[in-house]
A and B are shown apart, each in its own frame.
Chain A
Amino acid sequence: MREYQPQEGYLGRGLSWQKWLIIGLIVAALHFLPWTIPPQYVHIMIMIFLFTITGQGWNILGGYAGQFSFGHSLFFGLGAYTSTLMFIHWGLSPWIGMVFSCFIGIMMGLFVGYLSFRYGLSGPFFALIMLAFAEICHMISISWKAVGAALGLLIPLKGTSLALMQFVDKKPFYFITLWMMVGALYLVWRMEKTRMGFYFLAVREDNDAAEALGVNVLKYKMVAMTLSAGLTSIGGTIYAQYLLYIDPDMTFGVMNSIEILIRPIIGGPGTVLGPLLGSVLLTPLAEFTRLAFQSYSGVYLMIYGMILVGVIMFLPDGIIGLAKRVFYKMRKEVE
């Protein structure tokens, strides 16, 4: 199947030049934002971007290929710890460390993926086995002295430069995460209409039918897992460098898995903008309720819970699904 060919006057995947212009303007506007808002909001934007990246990672495996993982913190944690350990012990630039993080994450993904898919685990069973593996890594990171045990790892301030991914100010992180997010969105957007992308959908919709039609289900699940694990691991590296501190709970914890998956689910699983939308909605919510309810910073989770329940019951396709339906209905009325 060839990639969709645009009509005249359209650039790439059927979007008119006006649309590209608008997207470009928005991205450009985002570049100026950090100078116009106070630092605590820059922090929130960085978190939005970062969670979009990891959410998009989850989305490839869960939203597109339909394999819901409850343990994506596994890759996040591996990514964070890998680059951090290399930075601490060998002074390796986190950019190169990120490549290793990606590699380790992918290796783990292939291992777990092969075990699970080869033995036909799917649906909630797959979700649980991912959780089990994430918890095992969680336990190891708590107990193993060499990776800091329960104390975690503090990333020493070795100076400020792009190579070290350490800065005095938040702004460089803003741009790093912004561009990585744009990259992740672009990646998934391109992936959507490739043959591989369609095979993911086939696997998601009906595993057995796809198999019967000759799709190598195992292979494509593994490919989805690879992309997913790699992207999420990269998110882990950036998070570690930004916060300059990681511990087992923040990285491998179950809560982190939930934070990663909840954004694409609520935004719209299996869509390009789903993770972004979910992140834009949920991240500021989390940060603000944390401040408003200081001692009870878990309150935002209560709201998460309600939103999640509401979305599953009424909007199983997420907010984007709702938006699509509304727009179709509106268009039908116009016609």
Chain B
Amino acid sequence: MSFTYILQTLLDGLLMGGVYGLVAIGLTLIFGVMKVINFAHGALMMLGMYVTYWAFALLHIDPYVSIVITIPILFFVGVCFQKFLINPIIDAPAHNQLLLTLGVSLFLENLVVFLWSPDYRVVRTSYEFVYFYIGDVSISLLRLLAFCVAMLVASIVYLVLTKTDLGKAIRAASEEPGGALLMGINVRRIYWITFGIGAACAGVSGTAVAPFFPVYPTVGGVFVITAFMVVVLGGMGSVIGAFVGGLIIGVADNVGGLFFPGAMKHLLSFIIFILILLFRPAGLFGGSK
């Protein structure tokens, strides 16, 4: 096992991990603020991928440009989702919320199957075969771009949360909804804004991977489970935790691939997930829960 090989493995893991981190950021925001576990997050990502695909197929818009379309569309979907489906059951037991989001996920995925068939679609770009080489280690341009998008969006979300009034309101609503209400913060509004942001993050991550991942209705399933693992690892509600957790899981998956064949490469990630659930459910960056 040469040094190049290991380096390549780690690098691929980091690049993909950035994307996992972005998916997880949306999920962790939603959980941190509303304590809702959104099983439909993968479906939201899938919708982002399809928006990108159709923008590409019908309007010939470059996938990275179509991010400006994806964000508002997914934000809107997220807001509707929260207002009409989540809000009514905000006080229901957590497993009911999980089941509801599962139902939405089933619905969305299969609606897409119905509308656009289960066939795999591919987004093509003129620069998809561009690779950079450091010695014998290759970096795919597309994956690098995906990572950059993830970093950018994560930074923006972080800055919004820490530096803006909206961000402070969000954090207040998540830590102490009662107190926030007393301070004149419209907590209900914060909820649907946050959900919108979370959904938009999922959508953007979908756009980021569409150039090198096939687009099909159940693609979200792969990512949603990984996203959960990342969120638990990073600490529910922590944006930094989500991003760092994403990187860790991305690397773990690839390192796992070194030792385990085929489908088993995820074994390492799953084991990490189970251990965290059992022994440190607050995750790496999570506060006391």
**A residues engaging B (CB < 8 A)?**
68, 70, 115-116, 119, 121, 123-125, 127-129, 131-133, 135-136, 138-140, 142-143, 150, 254, 258, 265, 293, 295-296, 298-302, 304-309, 312-313, 316
Contact = CB atoms under 8 A, between A and B. Distances in A.
A309 B117 CA distance: 23
Interface residues of B, number: 46
A123 B108 contact: no
B107 interface: yes
Interface stretch (B2-10, B89-97, B179-187, B239-247): B89-97
Interface in B97-117: 97-100, 102-111, 113-114, 117
A298 B113 contact: yes
Given A299-B110, A305-B106, A123 B117 contact: no
Interface stretch (B14-22, B145-153, B263-271): B263-271
Interface in B252-270: 260-264, 266-267, 270
28 contacts: A68-B98, A68-B99, A116-B278, A123-B95, A125-B281, A127-B95, A128-B277, A129-B278, A132-B270, A135-B225, A139-B263, A139-B264, A139-B266, A139-B267, A139-B270, A258-B102, A296-B118, A298-B114, A301-B110, A302-B110, A302-B111, A305-B106, A305-B107, A309-B85, A312-B96, A312-B99, A312-B100, A316-B92
A136 B94 contact: no
Contacts of B103: 304-309, 312
Given A298-B113, A299-B114, A132 B107 contact: no
Contact of B262 (A128, A138, A143, A309): A143
A136 B107 CA distance: 26
B169 to A, nearest CB: 26
Contacts, number: 125
B104 A305 contact: yes
Contacts of B277: 119, 121, 125, 128-129, 132
A304 B106 contact: yes
B225 to A, nearest CB: 7
Contact of A306 (B107, B117, B263, B267): B107
Contacts of A305: 102-108, 110
Contacts of B260: 143
A298 B96 contact: no
A129 B270 contact: no
B262 A68 contact: no
Q: Which 10 pairs show the lowest CB-CB distances between chains A and B?
A: A305-B107, A308-B103, A305-B106, A302-B110, A309-B103, A68-B95, A301-B110, A142-B263, A312-B100, A298-B113
B168 to A, nearest CB: 28
Contacts of A135: 225, 266, 270
Given A119-B279, A128-B277, A299-B110, A136 B270 contact: yes
Contact of A140 (B94, B97, B114, B264): B264
Contacts of A124: 37, 94-95, 97-98
Contacts of B37: 124
A143 B261 contact: yes
Contacts of A306: 103, 107
